[in-house]
A and B are shown apart, each in its own frame.
Chain A
């Protein structure tokens, strides 16, 4: 690693961390989360980056080298085929296998009670021993290769566990090497470390399915609450297991259905928020910030988020009104994002620059802002627009 590159890395790290602590750095940091966009930029198909993690990592390194990004994620096309196909995972469609090579991976949610990965009468079993339930009941339902407990073990079954376990090790080792290369080769900070999900979202996404959980909150609300509480310590444990030991970069929590129209504010307050709030407060008390990646429009939930401890989160703005968010809690939390993905896909560079200026003028003058698209961006984002967002911020975002 050259001294010059390490110096650049330290400058970027300081800039990024200062902004996240809601203070004023030398310039607004730029921290995009580029998924299939990186593939397009580097000249790969979506199938190639989804299947071959080395190509996915190379694509991000090319973006990091060519764009003046302070921080980014080593690979946002995170559903690596080697792992999910190796395990026979039923709930993903994979580009190049199930869908065209130029599509993105898709999550297929349980559509009804018959297809549900957790049945309506299994809440007590989950609550009693979440890990045991996942291993013995859930995994056999979501894997093509793992039979239910009690049925004969097969060669395929044994290989599936071994294959996917070792694939996961390989993948995480790859991320470690990727982060080191981003630092050494382009002075780029790895933006996040550690993954958190809201217990309610886990119930919706992976266990009951969103539609069935919407029924459950009316028919068995106490079970839903108890299940969230049973999952909470495990969510925290796993988030902290992957967290930055230096406590510089945040743990990310991916939130995509806690807001209207998916969940009413009343349902959010009763079912989604209590365990989510508790986790954030406990993790913050141990010294880690959380990137509160609020996909969608969270305008209706801002008052709850304002309850969180000062500096505990970085609030990612997707469709939320960034100016309303800034008014509500800009004095407490750093904001990031706010440049709409559809603008990056369908707008012009001038329109992108105009939007960036409006956002910077509106929320960034006292620091505590990080430039990014509203959400993870795919291959529909135009290269010239991403460049415009980056270059404008480098020039206009100096304090």
Chain B
């Protein structure tokens, strides 16, 4: 079996949507808006963590 390398998490992301999505058995409404807002708010701790490293 070919060993697969784990996909690298991109800049701007702490918990990728693919991971977050697993919390929900079913999304009854518009999944795209759930994803968009998750990615917006997930960016905030990302920026915080890297600001501590880079600027403080």
Contact = CB atoms under 8 A, between A and B. Distances in A.
Contacts of A83: 56
Interface stretch (A44-52, A131-139, A220-228, A389-397): A131-139
A83 B52 CA distance: 9
Given A84-B56, A131-B14, A238 B9 contact: no
Interface residues of B, number: 20
Interface in B1-35: 6, 8-14
B56 A131 contact: no
Given A168-B51, A234-B50, A129 B56 contact: no
A131 B55 contact: no
B48 A202 contact: no
Contacts of A197: 54
A135 B14 contact: yes
> Which secondary structure dominates where chain A touches chain B?
helix
Interface string A111-154: 00000000000000000110110110011000000000000000
A132 B54 CA distance: 15
Interface footprint category on A: 20 to 34
B41 interface: no
A365 to B, nearest CB: 37
Given A83-B56, A234-B11, A134 B50 contact: yes
Query: Main SS of the interface on chain B?
Result: helix
B55 to A, nearest CB: 5
Contacts of A233: 10-11
B55 A78 contact: yes
A195 interface: yes
Contact of B9 (A79, A87, A132, A202): A132
B47 A131 contact: no
Contact of B53 (A128, A132, A206, A237): A206
A131 B52 contact: no
A168 B53 CA distance: 13
B7 to A, nearest CB: 10
A236 B11 CA distance: 9
A347 interface: no
B48 A165 contact: yes
Contacts of B10: 233
Given A135-B14, A233-B11, A234-B11, A241 B47 contact: yes
Interface string A76-87: 001100011001
B49 interface: yes
A225 to B, nearest CB: 16
A238 B13 contact: no
B54 A238 contact: yes
A26 B45 CA distance: 44
Contact of A237 (B11, B45, B48, B56): B11
A68 interface: no
Contacts of A234: 11, 50
A143 to B, nearest CB: 9
Interface string A182-221: 0000000000000111000010001000000000000000
30 contacts: A78-B55, A84-B56, A87-B52, A89-B56, A128-B6, A128-B8, A131-B14, A131-B46, A131-B49, A131-B50, A132-B14, A134-B49, A134-B52, A135-B14, A139-B49, A139-B52, A164-B48, A164-B52, A165-B48, A195-B55, A202-B53, A202-B54, A206-B53, A233-B11, A234-B11, A234-B50, A235-B54, A237-B11, A238-B47, A238-B51
* 5 cross-chain pairs, A with B, having the tightest CB-CB distances, nearest first: A237-B11, A238-B50, A234-B11, A233-B11, A134-B49
